[in-house]
Structure 1
């Protein structure tokens, strides 16, 4: 292979394995040209693909997007930290909190985006996971019951106004009074609605989809541990082809068997990987107030078995889709790039001249996915150590 000139990277194209040279000028891809390379695929070969889009990330390094004291500088810290884990575009996610706290959080995100073009590029929009969720134990998960409330268009609009129009995704429980009407209004305003943390019966789920809901948030989670064989909210949502499903494929939230079944039910075209990163993501094991990080990496409500977000990057979810489900790398990567982009009405990420230089370099040793480097707007960041950590062998509820 010839020497790679400055401002360029070479590797196999993720979609077809052809060797390419990608030339980058500033934040943009300037050229994509054929490159020399061996025909035989080697585990040490570099591959080039689109960087990840994470539409559900709650915080990082001890900072929560839902913290009422959140500052623009903390927003910047969390968002830029995504570069080391393969993510170029993300949706800062606020969980259920008092209305003033949620307004404060979205305002801090908006202020940071307005002041910092690097953050503005990375933040594709805001995800509100609450406060219109089920109050029931199990379904509610880690969301504080005292802040859960019935759907309220005025509250939603006040959050949208405080965000500067940046809310792009709302997760709610459609069985709440007024939820179906709210879905219609929110969808009509251009925001995607998801079903999550819900105890809805099949008829209510179908009514929500008829009203415009398009996603199941972390399907298989945010639900009680013991369910009727059928019907139950998982089967109804898995069976509805109008719904895409976000999945937390970290090895803790879904067992191998469940991950296989849900991907096969939805098909890769309707699967979106999310990290559901907890504010404790990136922190060592220990207890942090109400929450704890176990030695295995599980994040739980301290003293309970209940999961409270995740601590694994999307790269490990891609790895599990390849190894556990048997998806080709192009399909697994699409679940973390093209699928979330299209859900939000954005163009499918492409490696082409004129496109943002938001790329990943990776390797496929022994059918594993190994992140090497992330480029965001052409700026490279080596993969952080947590991306190389093997997923745990046993999943928990």
Structure 2
């Protein structure tokens, strides 16, 4: 944790103009334009709202889906996000047996109640499973044995365990009663995403009509061999009712695929996620059923199947800027405005009265983005140094 200045002067991420941002407690007190060099230099600091990451499975060897998850581990993983530029996070639980899922949800809720800082940073819980396709290739790292069909009674049990914090569910709409569940969940204020699915065009369209609003990590969580066209990727990319999240870490999507899919969704429907693995932040090696290879890629041991990412959300921003290309403001919207809108929560903005959650970055050249410091609800944190080569 760093010292806590009450004011910062940097270039505004939207206008490029110099601004002074004043902080009072956990709120922005004032944002005003100030004089500064007109020509942009490589060492200029830029200020933007701190990131929102709606898909984080864990970090530092801790998994939110672990049957042995502790409150201390939840706190460590959530608070570690501040060093990555992130102020709001959705702890994500993957498919697991009922008791393990209940344990994870109760533990996250307990951590939010014990620590005010954790409670502020957790924007909700993302339930990625168990309502997914159990087919090989589509299920990815999710265990088929724990898959089940969605039903309101089971979800309500999970929601009670979470303290009412589940606000995003990823499911496969081809499962029995899934379309009815989507409509029910939307009536209860829960956002529904489509993912790990082998659904056909008709089923995907019915899901969107029922209220599904997101495609989870579009282009991933799907079989390696598909019909050239049509297939579930293109059907979802073409449906303007669906936003899409992308894992832009350089491993999950190549630059051309990211460019095409992000263009299909457009700037207001593109969301970047880290999909951080429980192994994120750990050195190369084998860790039980999963492994980190020397490039930093995390896979299910002995298979080519990716099992989350080891790269921070800031790297995804950099990759999106280079792939499209797009400006800094457009990229930042994909990790601030767009995810907050998806969850129905107040948008993070550089305006008086908003949460004092900021990220300071440098752009040493147009192709690179370096996080310097993050302010989370008025408290400053130095950035975690990157130890791995760039994609």
- Provide the TM-score with structure 2 as the length reference: 0.97
Please state if 1:99 is matched with 2:121: no
Please state if 1:269 is matched with 2:272: no
Please state if 1:341 is matched with 2:340: yes
How far is 1:370 from its partner?
1.3
Deviations 1:298-331 (A, max 9, x none): 0000111110001111100000111122011100
How far is 1:152 from its partner?
2.0
Q: Which residue of 2 aligns with 1:358?
A: 357
Task: Decide whether the 8 Å contact of 1:322 with 1:369 is kept in 2.
Answer: no
Deviations 1:197-244 (A, max 9, x none): 000000000000011000000000000001001221000000000000
Q: Which residue of 2 aligns with 1:175?
A: 174
How far is 1:34 from its partner?
2.1
Deviations 1:236-258 (A, max 9, x none): 00000000000000000001110
Please show how residues 207-218 of structure 1 align to structure 2 within 5 Å.
207-218=206-217
How far is 1:391 from its partner?
2.9
Q: Which residue of 1 aligns with 2:86?
A: 87
Please show how residues 1-397 of structure 1 align to structure 2 within 5 Å.
6-367=5-366, 368-386=368-386, 389-392=388-391
SS at match of 2:117: helix
Cα distance in structure 2, aligned partners of 1:130 and 1:152: 12
Cα distance in structure 2, aligned partners of 1:6 and 1:256: 38
Task: Decide whether the 8 Å contact of 2:296 with 2:388 is kept in 1.
Answer: no
Cα distance in structure 1, aligned partners of 2:314 and 2:345: 22
SS at match of 2:365: helix
How far is 1:115 from its partner?
1.4
Deviations 1:42-66 (A, max 9, x none): 1110010000000000000000000
SS at match of 1:385: coil
Cα distance in structure 1, aligned partners of 2:233 and 2:332: 24
Cα distance in structure 2, aligned partners of 1:61 and 1:90: 16
Cα distance in structure 1, aligned partners of 2:383 and 2:36: 24
Structure 1 unmatched ranges of 5 or more: 393-397
TM superposition outliers: structure 1 runs of 4+ over 6 Å = none
C-alpha RMSD of matched pairs (Å): 1.1
